[in-house]
Amino acid sequence: MSAVSKTAASLRIIGEMLDPDEISVILGTKPSLSYRKGEVIRNPTTGRERIPKYGMWNLRTEDRFPGDLDGQIDELLGKVTDDLSIWKELNERFSLDLFTGLFLEEFNEGISLKPSTLLALGLRGIELDLDIYSGENRDEDD
């Protein structure tokens, strides 16, 4: 089995009453992307506007080729506080996850996470969300 061709990762904190500036102060870093509930958001690619029903604070890493989810998670958690009492408070108020993309180019690519990585996410109450994108383009007639 070969390694996943590409991985993408971002730490997301989501909530109806989320104030991105407050989260930045609490975690000790600025987000890659953030918005408040009700704030007009414009898609930079399409120009389409939408009004979110919740706020979000999002910290991204650069994509990795080949995939290196352990490294990306270490990088993300290295930029924020390691104070578990802060993470407990955030979990009580908001939804937290590590949103990942696993991009496959071939059949049967795989990835593993170290126990220390899983423990670090678990201690902070961060859910692991895996989106897997197949490298195969299937015709609808198949």
Instruction: Say what angle helices 69-78 and 115-123 make with each other, to 10 degrees.
Output: 40
Residue 42 — φ and ψ, nearest 5°?
-110, 125
Residue 125 — φ and ψ, nearest 5°?
70, 30
CA distance 121 to 107: 28
pLDDT tens sequence across 59-82: 999 999 999 999 999 999 999 999
Which position has the token pair 């201690």? 123
With a pLDDT cut of 70, the percent of the chain lying above it is 94
Which position has the token pair 């009580």? 92
This prediction has a pTM of 0.90
pLDDT tens sequence across 29-54: 999 999 999 999 998 899 999 999 99
Which tokens belong to 119? 């423990």
Residue 99: partners with Cβ closer than 8 Å, 6 or more residues away = 9, 10, 11, 12, 129, 131
